[in-house]
Structure 1
Amino acid sequence: MLFVGDDWAEDHHDIEVQDDDGRRLARARLPEGIAGLTRLHELLAEHLTDEDVDPETGFVAQNVLVGIETDRGTWVSALVAAGYRVFPLNPVQVARYRERHGASGAKSDRGDAHVLAEIVRVDRAHHRPMAGDSPQVEGLKMVARVHQSAIWDRTRHLLRLRSALREFFPAALEAFPELTAPDALELLERAPDPARAARLSRSKITAALTRARRRDTEAKAEAIQAVLRAPALRLAPEIEAAYAAIVASQVRLIASLNSEIAALQAVLAEGFGRHPDAEILTSQPGLGPILGARVLAEFGDDHARYADAKARKNYAGTSPITRASGTRRVVLARYARNRHLADATHQWAFCAITASPGARAYYDTLRARGAGHHAALRQLGNRLVGILHGCLKTRTTYNETTAWPDLTATAA
């Protein structure tokens, strides 16, 4: 077998090739793209025999193991297509492994390529090879992550907007409790400071509420106008002007993100609806097209990837970890995990409480034992991931009685 360490950069790859005994067979710096990949194939071919090559395709069989610190990009896709077994390694783990060989803190691209080759040669049993997910779910994963990142970006801008309004225009927070709503954004962009807000006519407020499809617009417009015109403490005009510029900027950013999030959501729902596993996922309580798409994208659709439900729970980060030393033993939540998947499972558990009597009974039982809200949701999420694994394994949709036999009987 050949073991390849690939330390990648934006425009090149540092490569080291080792044999079973750890002897260095080749070392090179290859350019990114077709030329570099062709040279890599040539380097490996110099140390392969005829038995190592598939006679039909000409590709190298899976006796070449590649360690690299990424799982995305055209280079990685080409390595997988060539038949190599690719191990996308966590940079934190690689850094810790580097410390095993020296405490000086020295680091180089060649040295990292050597460390990556050593990891796949010696410790590959402790690392997960790249999953064989379909291109469809890989694309879904890319859109789902950008969609989620856009939501997180919007939340950050929303917090900045709330902070600015609280400091110079608190009446706006009372008038517009939903700052991401279209009517609130429209009126704040038109009147981002107390002086202009007080001059807003009731007809303009009503028109904004109507465009946002609000009910009882006349009464709501009257209430908003009363709040905006009520006497309040004011800052110096120069400071208010600065705050108004900040508010207007944040409002435009949030409005733009609202539009992009809606567009990405439509793409996500369409792609998810075409996937064969969509019916199984949407049958789970609390999973709709968008949240289901995120769960599917992060888990992948390689059904051989997870040996059992525990492996899927570990990957999701929902299963707890135990730290024991001497007589001290504590059970903790996993914080080193895929935050996209962790966020999705947490929301899934929260939505399942109202969609499933069994999930609600399980949550209430945990709360009765003294678990906090988020701790109970983590445990419920762990249980839901196990249920999903069983449904995917048996290719069956969710069944409330099968999922919660004891709890549903007790609730009944």
Structure 2
Amino acid sequence: MTAAIWAGIDAGKTHHHCVAVDESGRRLLSRRIANDEPELLELTTDVMALGDKVTWGIDLADGGAALVIGILLNHVQLVHYISGRAIHRASESYRGEGKTDAKDAAIIADQTRIRRDLHPLHPNDETVTDLKTLTSRRMNLVADRTHTVNRLRAQLTGIFPGLERALDLTNKGPLTLLTGYQTPAAIRRLGARRLETWLRNRKVLRANQLAETTVEAAERQHTSLPGEKLAAQMVHTLAKEVSALNEQIAKVDKLIEARFRGHRHFEVITSMPGLGIILGAEFLAATGGDMSIFGTADRLVGFGGIAPVPRGSGMISGNLRRPQRYNRRLQRVLYTSALFSIRRSNKSRRFYDRKQAEGKHHTQAVLALARRRVNVLWALLRDGRCYELAPLTTLSA
């Protein structure tokens, strides 16, 4: 008779804790190991020696758990992912109030033993792994840029509010301007013509319009505010920081496109209206590109968090809530791409308009469209064919 073993790993940055149980839930092994290859290899060997078939569960799918997952997959082990939220909820049904790594590992092992709905982990190809790294880096850079732009706006408003209102501080031209001139007096002394020449020498597009707008704002403010000199220096520094972040994001975008174009699903994913290079790469990074992991389009929808779920067993009609367990990055991709598709596809626009005519507000209509698009994308990836985009006509046609 085949002896089945279930092993749960509570993963951490420096150390993991592993608990192995048999089919009755009896604990066979409990060990704390360093996140180091020799100890992880020894653990794998010891657990595999306990039975003929081992099923592993782990509460992280990347980061500090990447090494142990890689080792297990290289040993052809079946590894399931169970979220930290699911472990927290399950812990309420186990004895004991304390929370320890050993207890969490035991819960992971037992949940892996009794549940049948956990996602198995599979080795990603090199392209998907690279895209995960690059898209995560891009998200961090974009967040840093947003934070820095907000600080720049606040600083500029403190000395020159008229110019802050007139400029789009995410564009190259206004940022270049602020690296040289920040105060009304300095801009008035320079004048529109010399400012235009200064901007043209730095390859700013539509330098004449920017120069005119800037000088007009300077002519409306003749008051010099306290602390203006130091604040102007801060504006200069922040403008350079935003420009540097823009350059970094542009470089990462090129790397993402180069890696994404090499993937077998590139043509299929980007053929969908609204899914361009960046959103398509993020979709691939969030899902791994292997739709068989999810089994059905409905499970992919649930993973993306765009399907409402009932509030309870006594729910009334329309008494729904948003799902609490989903991939936020995938949800953003599905929602944003649906929003963009309304501008590019007549079919998407007509579907969106119909949902609004049925009484749904904007967000509900976009989510309904995103749900429908998942079915289409699922079929395209399954069949390996591209979406055929009808020629754009007037939306009333």
TM-score higher than 0.5:
yes
8 Å CA contact 1:30–1:39 kept in 2: the answer is no
Letter in 2 for 1:396: R
- What is the aligned partner in structure 2 of residue 228 from structure 1? 218
8 Å CA contact 1:98–1:115 kept in 2: the answer is yes
C-alpha displacement of 1:197: 4.3
After TM superposition, the structure 1 = structure 2 runs for residues 187-336 of structure 1, keeping only pairs within 5 Å, are 187-202=177-192, 203-208=194-199, 211-215=202-206, 217-231=207-221, 235-236=225-226, 238=227, 240-241=228-229, 243-326=231-314, 328-329=316-317, 330-334=319-323, 336=325
Give the secondary structure class of the aligned counterpart of 1:287.
coil
C-alpha displacement of 1:270: 0.4
CA offset digits 1:254-307 (Å, max 9, x no partner): 222111111110010001101111111111112222221112221222231122
Q: Does 1:375 align with 2:378?
A: no
Q: Does 1:365 align with 2:354?
A: yes
**In structure 1, how many angstroms separate the alpha carbons of the residues matched to 2:366 and 2:80?**
32
Gaps of 5+ in 2: none
Give the secondary structure class of the aligned counterpart of 2:291.
coil
CA offset digits 1:209-239 (Å, max 9, x no partner): 5645423x33441232121232265532x3x
**In structure 2, how many angstroms separate the alpha carbons of the residues matched to 1:295 and 1:30?**
34
**In structure 1, how many angstroms separate the alpha carbons of the residues matched to 2:255 and 2:217?**
40
CA offset digits 1:160-205 (Å, max 9, x no partner): 32233334421122331x2011121122222344444444443244
C-alpha displacement of 1:388: 0.2
Letter in 2 for 1:128: H
- What is the aligned partner in structure 2 of residue 186 from structure 1? 176
8 Å CA contact 1:182–1:212 kept in 2: the answer is no
Give the secondary structure class of the aligned counterpart of 1:223.
helix
- What is the aligned partner in structure 1 of residue 153 from structure 2? 162
Give the secondary structure class of the aligned counterpart of 1:171.
helix
CA offset digits 1:92-114 (Å, max 9, x no partner): 2111212221463x111222221
8 Å CA contact 1:294–1:341 kept in 2: the answer is yes
Query: Share of identical aligned residues, percent?
Result: 27
Name the TM-score, length of structure 2 as normaliser: 0.89
8 Å CA contact 2:73–2:123 kept in 1: the answer is no
**In structure 1, how many angstroms separate the alpha carbons of the residues matched to 2:135 and 2:78?**
26
CA offset digits 1:28-60 (Å, max 9, x no partner): 121222211121123124313xxx4xxxxxxxx
8 Å CA contact 2:48–2:54 kept in 1: the answer is no
8 Å CA contact 2:7–2:47 kept in 1: the answer is no
- What is the aligned partner in structure 1 of residue 70 from structure 2? 77
Give the secondary structure class of the aligned counterpart of 1:304.
helix
Say how many residue pairs are matched. 386
**In structure 1, how many angstroms separate the alpha carbons of the residues matched to 2:203 and 2:338?**
31
**In structure 2, how many angstroms separate the alpha carbons of the residues matched to 1:211 and 1:249?**
18
RMSD of the alignment, in Å? 2.5
8 Å CA contact 1:187–1:205 kept in 2: the answer is no
- What is the aligned partner in structure 1 of residue 332 from structure 2? 343
